[in-house]
Chain A
Amino acid sequence: MSGRVAIERLVFVLFAAFMLSVPWSVPALVSPFWVSVITEILIWSLFAASVNLLFGYVGLLSFGQALYFGFGMYGVGIGIDQLHLSFWPAFGLGIAAAVAMALVSGIFAVRLTWHYFAIITVVFSLIFYFLAVRMKPLTGGDDGINFSMPPTFTFGKSVWSFTDATFQYFFILATVALCFYLMHRVIRSPLGKAFVAIRDNDIRASLIGVNVYQTRLVAFVMAGFLAGVAGALFAFFGRYASATYMFYQVSGEGVVWAIVGGAGTLFGPVIGTTLFIVIREVVSTHWEHHSLIVGVMAILVVILAPKGLVGLWRAALSQFERDEPAAPPPQALRAEP
């Protein structure tokens, strides 16, 4: 096992331990407010991951992932508010709506690549954004629809619902973690290898027998699924659904988070999302014009770390590994195997 893998495993274990302790450690160390910030970061990380699955692994830059996020959100919102569904059917409806939309738009969109793909995804998302704004009785337009939360599990008398902040946190953490695990499995599978083959050279991929169109469509639907789950979770988390989350700027933020964190890496989107949301939360309490800082940060990261923050970290690690044999370390360190 190389040093890099060992270090990254250690970081991951520490990260996982921290995530499991959040509902107790964060209120004790900072304030309960930050638990909800971390919950929000989890949801948006999943959204950024959906951009990353398409761009980082298949090489398709989607500027319209907010559409599937919005469908996930509205599936839950309309399901609970107007169809009076309980928790799980509403969750299912949100995800199904997002996946169905991704399938239908993907059939058309993945015929195109690169700039044309970016434009057609943004065009599709704008069409449904304007439709959502216009169909006010159904969607509430920009104001959105508010709903009250049905319980998640009911066992006899004990009721588990999102009104309990700790339950809400763990439910969202578990769902997001499951999605990331699924993504990890897909990337490791032959299908994931086909993704990367298409990203690197689609003609070569088709020559070795990969069905490029079909594989791209599968990736597009999977990305729609991830964005849909994120949207459904966000609807549960905020208890509302709104057309504003379908606008192209939301898609743009997902792209920025994924690329700043490191496209083509599993955890890059998490890091990018965390960076931007933490800056927003920290600065906005002190200074109204926090967008300035966010803008400067985005520019600095792409200039100083074109492979994203994960790329920067890996470069630093391999630098460290290469330096080690060159300069003989002090005797005390040599004692380690």
Chain B
Amino acid sequence: MMDTLLLLALNGLIWGLIIALIALGLSIIFGLLDVINIAHGDFFMVGTVLAWFTLEATGNFWLGFIVAPLIGFVLGALIQRIVIQPIRGVAALSIVATFGLSLILQESVRIAFGPVPRRILPPITGTIPLFGIEYDIYRIFAAVLSVAALVAFFLFLQHTKVGTWMRAVRHDRDTAIAMGIPAQRIYILTFGIGFALAAFGGAVAAPITTVDFRGGVDILPVCFMAVIIGGLGNLPGTAAAAVLLAFFEGIIQSVADPTIARIASLVLMSGVLLLRPQGLFKGHVR
């Protein structure tokens, strides 16, 4: 009993770290561009598929960790320029546009990859003893990678010129433009980074979950929950909320089935929304 609880809690924790990556992408896209991105789950799905294709083409799994975010970044930049730019600022239209995008991404993957879900074998197998249970090494590795990517992202945001520009545009668009910040390029960059983060999450998650053209559909609501529970615009809050939510679901799964766990986290989410719409964590909103 204790062992199952520990196993599921750890699984939840690690899944939460991956969700945190994806949700951060969703949050910066929302914060900077006012785009409610319905296609964000599919960005994650594209990441898993890119990892699969990289493995098929080169036989090297590790390359996927570079290829997936790179292609994701390019795709994201193109999408911003072609689809998001013309409707910038109107959130209702962004829902329709990204809904269309979601259909296009899913259908393209179905054509290229096929409708049948597939599994990728983890590049490192085996278990290590951890708190008295034998735990899968790849999952530990996935956690380390996710944390590294999260840290890298926050360092980039806080300590580079471009990161500062991104924060400035999010804080006050007009003033930022008046100060000479190239807002349009920042928008393209932000969308690219958002896609890249989700695609990287996909590559990391590919051996844990299945590779499927509908793989993004279940991810999307969880990411939105993390963004809201963490507080809109509160990036560390979003990451923390993602980990907490998945950890919470993992713990509930040890006593009930996954559907009940999902319902429980949704009920928790409603409570947070109604009682603390600014998010669970205090601090600067925006």
Contacts and interface: CB of A to CB of B under 8 A. Distances in A.
A294 B100 contact: yes
B36 interface: yes
A133 B259 contact: yes
A234 interface: no
A295 B259 CA distance: 30
Interface string A96-126: 0000000000001001100110111011101
Interface string A293-304: 011111101110
B96 A301 contact: yes
A292 interface: yes
A295 B107 contact: yes
A55 B270 contact: no
Interface in A118-148: 118-120, 122-124, 126-127, 130-131, 133-134
Interface string B214-238: 0001000100110010001000000
Interface of B is mostly: helix
A292 B274 contact: no
Contact of A111 (B91, B217, B232, B274): B274
A252 interface: yes
Contacts of B36: 115, 118
The residue among A259, A299, A301 with the most chain B CB atoms within 10 A of its own CB is: A299
A138 to B, nearest CB: 14
Contacts of B100: 256, 294-299, 302
B167 to A, nearest CB: 20
Interface in B254-268: 257, 259-260, 262-263, 266-267
A302 B110 contact: no
B111 A289 contact: yes
Contacts of A301: 96
A93 interface: no
Contacts of A294: 100, 103
Contact of B86 (A112, A120, A303): A303
| Size bracket of the A interface | 35 or more
Contacts of A115: 36, 91, 228, 232
Contacts of B127: none
A289 B107 contact: yes
B104 interface: yes
| Size bracket of the B interface | 35 or more
Given A61-B92, A303-B97, A306-B93, A295 B102 contact: yes
Contact of B90 (A120, A123, A256, A306): A306
B263 A131 contact: yes
A256 B262 contact: no
Contacts of A298: 96-97, 99-100, 103
A249 interface: yes
A291 B107 contact: yes
Contacts of A253: 99
Given A134-B259, A295-B101, A302 B224 contact: no
Contacts of A252: 38, 95, 99
Given A61-B92, A131-B263, A292-B107, 16 more contacts: A111-B274, A120-B270, A123-B270, A126-B221, A127-B266, A130-B259, A130-B262, A249-B217, A255-B99, A259-B93, A289-B110, A296-B100, A298-B103, A299-B97, A302-B87, A303-B83
24 contacts: A115-B232, A116-B277, A119-B228, A119-B273, A120-B274, A122-B221, A122-B224, A123-B225, A123-B266, A126-B262, A127-B266, A130-B263, A134-B260, A252-B99, A256-B95, A256-B100, A295-B101, A295-B107, A298-B103, A299-B97, A299-B104, A302-B96, A303-B83, A303-B97
